Amino acid sequence: MRQDTQGYFYFVDRIGDTFRWKGENVAAGEVTEAVLDCPGVTDAMSFGVRVPGHDGRAGMAAIVAGPDFDVEALGGLLSRRLPAYAHPLLLRLCERLPNTETFKQKKQQLMHDGFDPDVVTDPLYLGDPGSGAYRLLDRVLCAWLTDGLLRLTAKP
């Protein structure tokens, strides 16, 4: 909102879709644009999810991928576009992203589902902040993460 000299308020723009991770504000739209630029990605959405024992919300990207998508190349491609704190640490490979009747993305359901393999049937991946590589997130790795045995630290 903006206020003019006479005291009237005017709508200017939305604040935007952001989340906070490792003390930094992350613009979900910027992350989504970077993911969409990766070969083989046909649709994407990014958002923050809570990880027990960590402040803020870790970045997660839901991706619809074509046959030429290479999850192993994704970390390197994103490192050229995004600062380390903005890299999605969690990936969800979806057949399609949920939309409303007016074709707006339903981000809240994906945020609610999070990264629990007992809830999410889509393949899930966890990024290594040190190398940028992604590995399959199974129940054991998820338990280590949620129990605090595995910590998500920023790249050096």
Q: What pLDDT, in 10s, does the model give residues 91-125? A: 999 999 988 788 777 888 899 999 999 999 999 99
> Alpha-carbon Rg of the chain, whole angstroms?
17
Q: How far apart are CA 142 and CA 148, in angstroms?
A: 10
> Shortest CA distance to 127 belongs to which of 94, 91, 93, 79?
91
Rounded to two decimals, the pTM is: 0.84
User: Residue 70: which pLDDT band, with cuts at 50, 70 and 90?
Assistant: very high
Q: For domain 15-146, is the CATH number 3.40.50.720? A: no
Q: How far apart are CA 36 and CA 65, in angstroms?
A: 10
Ranges of each domain in the chain: 15-146
